[in-house]
Amino acid sequence: MKQRTRERRRRRRKRQMMQAALCLAVCVAGITLMAAVWHVTSFALRRMPGEKEPDQEEVSADPATDRLQETFREQDASSTAQKEDILLVNKTHPLPENYTPSLKRMNDYGADVDEQAYDALNAMLKAGNKEGLSFWIASSYRSMERQRELLDEDIEALVHQGYSYSQAYEEVVRETMPVGCSEHATGLAVDIVSKDYQILDEQQGRTDEIIWLQKNCSQYGFILRYPEGKEDITKVSYESWHFRYVGVEAAEEIMSLGITLEEYLDSAE
């Protein structure tokens, strides 16, 4: 009898010990899980939404330039121009005589450009600078009065060489736009050259700066306005240095297709 009682007590103590061990294991597991959840939650709260992991974060070599490029991208995304909003200026589409652009000064280059193109142009040139390139803006906004002066000067020079006025005029307007027909009067066009070679000639197109610009300008909303082989459409000789702001969407389509602004706008009709 006593033997059976001791055996029951022994089995009961064994069950109690097993239950206690199981309870302890469950408690430890619960505490571990709670600690893990707390750690992950507190870490997540310390990070801003969308923030990269520390080991994935990109280190900017020039934070000011990156902020400028980001500002340009945000502005361009919020104000993408429709085809019908893009201003066409050429020999058959002159500007109104009272046209007045909203100009901003680029102090580093001594150039005035329309405010629509200001941030994009700054971002593009600074991106090129980071690639070791050095640019200069040879021409930006030009008033109609100044355009008239340039035209008259070139015509007069040819007349002195024996051309008639009409012959001189026809020769000059192959390179210099008639008054009211120059994109420079919009403030949206710039002649950009290599700072180390500022001559507007065939060699300019072989400089590293112009090669880079022609390859990357569309990312910033610019196009090569007078491409080679399109003279019959633009009525202007190839100018490797003349870039026009039209917005990223239009620029990327124009440059990728190898067409002119005239062809792009005609496709919308």
Determine the Cα angle at 118 with ends 92 and 194, to 5°.
85
- pLDDT for 267 equals 83
The pairs formed by 212-218 with CB atoms below 8 angstroms and a separation of 24 or more are 212/128, 212/131, 212/133, 213/124, 213/128, 213/135, 213/243, 214/240, 216/124, 216/127, 216/128, 217/124, 217/243, 217/251, 217/255, 218/248, 218/251, 218/252, 218/254, 218/255, 218/256
For residue 200, the one-letter residue type is: L
Express each pLDDT in 187-206 by its tens digit.
Answer: 999 999 999 999 999 999 99
What are the beta bridge partners of residue 93?
90
Radius of gyration of the chain from its Cα atoms, rounded to whole angstroms: 34
- pLDDT for 41 equals 47
User: Is 239 assigned a catalytic role?
Assistant: yes
- pLDDT for 52 equals 44
- Is the pLDDT assigned to residue 16 strictly greater than 70? no
Q: Where are the alpha helices (DSSP H) in 90-188?
A: 115-130, 144-160, 165-172
* CA 210 – CA 93 distance, rounded (Å): 28
Express each pLDDT in 146-193 by its tens digit.
Answer: 999 999 999 999 999 999 999 999 999 888 889 999 999 999 999 999
Average pLDDT, the chain: 81
29-33, 70-74, 85-89, 251-255: lowest mean pLDDT where? 29-33
- pLDDT for 17 equals 52
- pLDDT for 175 equals 80
- Asked if 213 and 195 count as a contact pair (C-beta separation under 8 A), the reply is no
- pLDDT for 55 equals 43
Tell me the CB-side half-sphere exposure of residue 76, using CA atoms within 13 A. 25
Residue in this structure with the two tokens 């990109």, named with its chain if needed: 58
- Is the pLDDT assigned to residue 22 strictly greater than 60? no
- pLDDT for 69 equals 61
Q: From the candidates 51, 153, 239, 252, give the one annotated as an active-site residue.
A: 239
Pair of tokens at residue 67 = 């902020």
Beta-sheet strands, E only, within the chain? 103-106, 111-114, 135-139, 189-194, 222-224, 242-245
- Asked if 92 and 234 count as a contact pair (C-beta separation under 8 A), the reply is no
- Is the pLDDT assigned to residue 43 strictly greater than 60? no
- pLDDT for 29 equals 56
- Is the pLDDT assigned to residue 21 strictly greater than 60? no
* CA 125 – CA 122 distance, rounded (Å): 5
